[in-house]
């Protein structure tokens, strides 16, 4: 167990629907990152939050949004889902003094 | 800007033979570099990291990597492959912001180990 918890592990939903992925960071970590891993795009950085505030944005679609709550857990919301959104979504967390991240085990999203 | 190129998308070795996974990076400053491993249907696990200390870095499971600034390389090696090493390996370069680290991943190298 890495200390980063992601739920659910698997999610199957239909096109056009909306889903929420949840991440609880490692204890003491203030930064949370979301990544998307797909066969054609590889690992793509989506967004970073630090202590509740958005700090960096990557290749995140406008249909996607995220937030980090006061207890530091984070949620990634994906709406108007398309087949191409099917992917493994990873959450990771870190401290400012860390090098690298601790990753969760991911949520596999399948859009049918 | 920073980028990472993993020179081989697939590497196949026999059990007990050496492993070499190649990585070149581009960075406008002194980088921090990492190797992560991902086993099938699993998350990403840190193998080792280079953070401007010793250029030869030892990681878990017998892996090591050497930072060569002149060649902008950070190749991953292991003297003797095990079947359990079959996985996808990612070379990663890091850039710090004032809230943490931004990681840029290479495209990955799938290591296959033949019995």
Q: Which pLDDT score is estimated for A110?
A: 97
CB B5 within 8 A of CB B106: yes
Separation CA A27–CA A7 (nearest Å) = 17
Contact B100 A31 (CB under 8 A): yes
Separation CA B110–CA B115 (nearest Å) = 16
Residue B5 pLDDT level (bands cut at 50, 70, 90)? very high
Separation CA A44–CA A58 (nearest Å) = 8
CA distances from A36 to A14, A68, A88, A108, B34 (A): 19, 18, 6, 10, 19
Find which of B33, B97, B99 to mutate to test the A interface (most A CBs within 10 Å of its CB): B99
CA-based R_g, chain B, Å: 14
Separation CA A73–CA A52 (nearest Å) = 9
Q: Which pLDDT score is estimated for B99?
A: 62
State the smallest CA–CA distance between residue A96 and chain B in angstroms.
4
Condensed to tens digits (0 to 9), the pLDDT of residues A44-103 reads 889 999 999 998 888 899 999 999 999 999 999 999 999 999 999 999 998 876 667 889
Find the mean pLDDT for residues A11-35.
95
Both structure tokens of A7 = 């739920």
CB of B40 within 8 Å of a chain A CB? The answer is no
Of B109, B113, B58, which Cα lies nearest the Cα of B82? Answer: B113
Chain A residue with the nearest C-alpha to that of B108? A42
Contact B34 A55 (CB under 8 A): no
State the smallest CA–CA distance between residue A32 and chain B in angstroms.
9
Contact A98 B100 (CB under 8 A): yes
Q: Which pLDDT score is estimated for B100?
A: 67
> For all residues of chain B together, what is the average pLDDT?
91
CB A4 within 8 A of CB A23: yes
Both structure tokens of A109 = 């999203």
Q: Which pLDDT score is estimated for A101?
A: 82
Residues with Cβ < 8 Å from B71, sequence gap 6 or more? B24
Condensed to tens digits (0 to 9), the pLDDT of residues A24-50 reads 999 989 999 999 998 888 888 899 999
Separation CA A78–CA B28 (nearest Å) = 34
Q: What DSSP designation does A1 have? A: -
The per-residue DSSP string of A64-86 comes to EEEEE-TTS-EEEEE-S--GGG-
Residue B98 pLDDT level (bands cut at 50, 70, 90)? low
CA distances from B115 to B6, B39, B62, B78, B83 (A): 25, 18, 19, 17, 7
Both structure tokens of B4 = 């990472």
Q: Which pLDDT score is estimated for A99?
A: 67
Condensed to tens digits (0 to 9), the pLDDT of residues B7-37 reads 999 999 999 999 999 999 988 777 889 999 9
């Amino acid at each position: 167990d890495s200390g980063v918890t992601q739920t659910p592990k698997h999610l199957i939903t239909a096109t056009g629907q909306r889903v929420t992925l949840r991440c609880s960071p490692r204890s003491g970590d203030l930064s949370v990152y979301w990544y998307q891993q797909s066969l054609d795009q590889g690992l793509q950085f989506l967004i970073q939050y630090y202590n509740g505030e958005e700090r960096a944005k990557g290749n995140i679609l406008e249909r996607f949004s995220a937030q980090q709550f006061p207890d530091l857990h984070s949620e990634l919301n994906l709406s108007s889902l398309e087949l191409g959104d099917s992917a493994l979504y990873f959450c990771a967390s870190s401290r400012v003094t860390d090098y690298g991240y601790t990753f969760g085990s991911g949520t596999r999203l399948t859009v049918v | 800007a920073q980028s990472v190129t993993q020179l081989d998308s697939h590497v196949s070795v026999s059990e007990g033979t050496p492993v070499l996974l190649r990585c070149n990076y581009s960075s406008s400053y002194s980088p921090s570099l990492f190797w992560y491993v991902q086993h099938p249907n699993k998350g990403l696990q840190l193998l080792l990291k280079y953070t401007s200390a010793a250029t030869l870095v030892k990681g878990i499971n017998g892996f090591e990597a050497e930072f060569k600034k002149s060649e902008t390389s950070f190749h991953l090696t292991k003297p003797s492959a095990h079947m359990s090493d079959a996985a996808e390996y990612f070379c990663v370069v890091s850039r710090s912001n004032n809230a943490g680290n931004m990681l840029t991943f290479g495209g990955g190298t799938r290591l296959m180990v033949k019995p």
